[in-house]
Structure 1
C-alpha cells in the first residue's frame, strides 16, 4: 500500500496532527485527496517512513552522524548544484532553463568554473558551433518541433548499429570501465596541481569516456560537442537538440551515490580519471543507474498483458516502481517535464505513467523521460545509460575539482554494532584493587 490515512501516519510518526500538516506544507510528505472521502487526505507511505526514521528527538552524536549518511541528509558542503522548491539548480541557475540553449560543454565550463576564454581552449571545435555559453547567459532561439520525425519503434538506431537488447548497455559499461581504469593506472594524482591544468585534464577524461562508449571512429571528430558525437554515432542527427538538452539535464544532481563515490576517491589524492571511475562503477548497481533496465522489463510486461496489470504485479512483488517517483520532487521531476513536453506520447509508456500515478501516486522521473526519448526517436537501447553517464561525468568532474580544493580526506567513523569487544570489561578488571 503506497498511501496511508492520517491516523496511520500519525501512529507511525508519533506526532501531533499539526506536525504532520506542517511536513506536508514543506513538501517533506506527499499528500493527495482520498478518492473515497474527498474531505480526507492520504499520505505517501515512503515519505512518512522516512520522516519517522529521522524524527527521533535529540539523539546522541554518533547516531546523528550515522544517520547523516542516509539518503536525503546533507553530507558535504558543495556549491555545484542543489534541489530547491522542486527545481534543480547548477551554481544557482535553473538547469531546465539552461537546457534551452546550453551545450554540455557550456555546463562543464559553468560547473568547473572555467576562466573567460578557457573553455574555447579546452574545446576548440565547440567555440564556433551553434551553442550558447551558459556562463554569459546567452538565450536560445525557439526550438520548434524538436520531436518532428520521431518514431515509436525504438529500433532504427539499434539495428543500424548492428546490435540490440542488453548487449549495447553491457558494451558501453564494460568499455567505459576499461578505458577509465587504464587512465587511472597512469594519470598523475590530483592534489597539488594547478586548477587550470586539472580542468584541461577533466576535458580529456570526459572525452575518454565518450570515446569508449560510442567509439573513436564515430563520424564526428573527438573535438566535436558530445551531443554531436552521440547524434552522429546513433544516426540521429534529426534529434540533436533533444540529445543536447538531455545531456545538460543529466550533468549533476547534488551528492548522489556516484558523486559521493567520486569525491571519496578524489579526497585521497587520486587522479581525476580514478575519481570518475569510482563514480562510474556505481552504475553497475541496480539502485543507481539501473532504472533503465528495470523499466525495460516493466515495458515488456505491459506489452505482454497491459499497463495496469504490469504495475499491479510489480507493486505486489514489493519492488520499487522503476522510472517513477523521486523523493526530492514530490510534484514531479522537472527534468522529466522539460523533456516530455517536447516528445510525442509513446505506448505502452504513457499507459504505464497513468497506471503508476493511479496505483502508486508516483509521477515520471528522468529515467522515464530517457526511455520515452529512446523509443520515440529510435535511439539504440543503450542510449539512456550512455546519456546518463556522459552527462553525469561533467558533474563527477566538477565535484572532483571541488574536492581537490577542499584538500581533506573523507573518512567517516563507523558506529560499531558487532559482537562485544570486551575492552571495557578488561579496563574495569584492571581498575580494581
Structure 2
C-alpha cells in the first residue's frame, strides 16, 4: 500500500563507501573532523552550505541563549525520568525534548512563522495582531513570566544584530510588532528570547522549517548537564514529592 508521496527516493546529506564518508559534499575525515567546529557543522548539515563567519557567530549566540534557564519543565521531566529509570539516560533526555512545544522551548518556531507572516503581509502586523487578540491567542515571541521588564537574552541578541549590521526584514517585523502592541492589545509586551532567536536566525539565512532544531540542539546539551548533576546530586524524587505535596485531591472518596 502506497502512503504519501513516493516519487523522490533521494537524500543529499551523506553517503559512504569502504574508504570515505561524504557529508554535504565534504569529506568527513579530510575536511570536517578537527577542522570545522560543531556549530558550523550543524549549519552545514541543515542547510547544505558552509556558514559565513557571521552566521556561525549568531548560531553560537542563540544556542547559548536558549540552552539553559533553570528547572524549567523540560529539565524537570528529564531529571524525574532519570530518577525513576537511571539505566535510561537516553530516555531521560528524550522525555525533556518531547515537551518542546508552542508554550515552552519550541515557541521560537511559532514566533518565526508569525514573523514570516508579517513579512509576507508587507511588514504591517496590526491586522494579524488584532486577529490574535480576537481569538485570545498569545503574541508569539512576546511576554515573559519572569522577565517582565525585558528578557536580557533577547535584548542582547538584538543588540548584537545591530552591532553586526545584520538587521533584516524579520527583525524589522519584530520591532513593528512591538510598536503596534499598545494599539492592538492596549499595552506593551517585552520581546522574549523566543522572539529574538527566529528574527536573528532568519535574517542571517537559517531556514524557517528548521527553527525548532535550534532549541532542541541547545536544550539537549543542558539536559545532559542536568543528568550528570542528577547522577551525583539527585533531586528528581524531591521534585516529584514536592509536586505531589502541592496538589490537593478534590475527587470523591470511597
* Structure 1 length-normalised TM: 0.44
2:243 matches 1:416: no
Structure 1 segments of 4+ aligned residues over 6 angstroms from their partners? none
Aligned to 1:310: 128
Instruction: Tell me, yes or no, if the aligned pair for 1:298 and 1:311 is still in contact at 8 Å.
Output: no
Aligned to 1:95: none
Residue 276 of structure 1, CA deviation: 0.8
**Counterpart mapping for 1:316-331 below 5 A:** 316-331=134-149
Aligned to 2:52: 237
Residue 363 of structure 1, CA deviation: 1.4
Residue 272 of structure 1, CA deviation: 2.4
1:338 to 138, 156, 164: 156
Gap runs ≥5 in structure 1: 1-161, 164-215, 423-433
Residue 292 of structure 1, CA deviation: 3.1
Q: Rg bigger for which structure?
A: 1
**Counterpart mapping for 1:13-412 below 5 A:** 217-218=23-24, 219=26, 221=32, 224-233=36-45, 234=47, 235=49, 236-238=51-53, 239-268=55-84, 269-283=86-100, 285-299=101-115, 301-302=117-118, 303-304=120-121, 306-343=124-161, 344-346=167-169, 347-356=172-181, 359=185, 360-407=187-234, 410=237, 411-412=240-241
Residue 357 of structure 1, CA deviation: 5.4
Instruction: Tell me, yes or no, if the aligned pair for 1:357 and 1:363 is still in contact at 8 Å.
Output: no
CA RMSD of aligned residues (A): 2.6
CA distance in 2, matches of 1:250, 1:322: 16
Residue 335 of structure 1, CA deviation: 1.0
CA distance in 2, matches of 1:325, 1:299: 16
Cα 1:249–1:357 change in 2 (3 A) is farther
Aligned to 2:3: none
CA distance in 1, matches of 2:43, 2:116: 26
What is the SS of the residue equivalent to 2:160? coil
Aligned residues: 207
Cα 1:227–1:356 change in 2 (3 A) is farther
Aligned to 1:142: none
CA distance in 1, matches of 2:198, 2:236: 38
CA distance in 2, matches of 1:356, 1:272: 43
Instruction: Tell me, yes or no, if the aligned pair for 1:367 and 1:384 is still in contact at 8 Å.
Output: no
What is the SS of the residue equivalent to 1:253? coil
Residue 289 of structure 1, CA deviation: 3.1
Aligned to 2:6: none
Residue 345 of structure 1, CA deviation: 4.4
Instruction: Tell me, yes or no, if the aligned pair for 2:112 and 2:211 is still in contact at 8 Å.
Output: no
Write the deviation string for residues 263-309 of structure 1: whole angstroms up to 9, x where unpaired: 111112143212111111111x3222332343244335534373122
Write the deviation string for residues 148-192 of structure 1: whole angstroms up to 9, x where unpaired: xxxxxxxxxxxxxx99xxxxxxxxxxxxxxxxxxxxxxxxxxxxx
CA distance in 2, matches of 1:323, 1:256: 18
Cα 1:331–1:299 change in 2 (3 A) is same
Residue 375 of structure 1, CA deviation: 2.1
The structure with more helix, counted as a fraction of residues: 2
Instruction: Tell me, yes or no, if the aligned pair for 2:181 and 2:188 is still in contact at 8 Å.
Output: yes
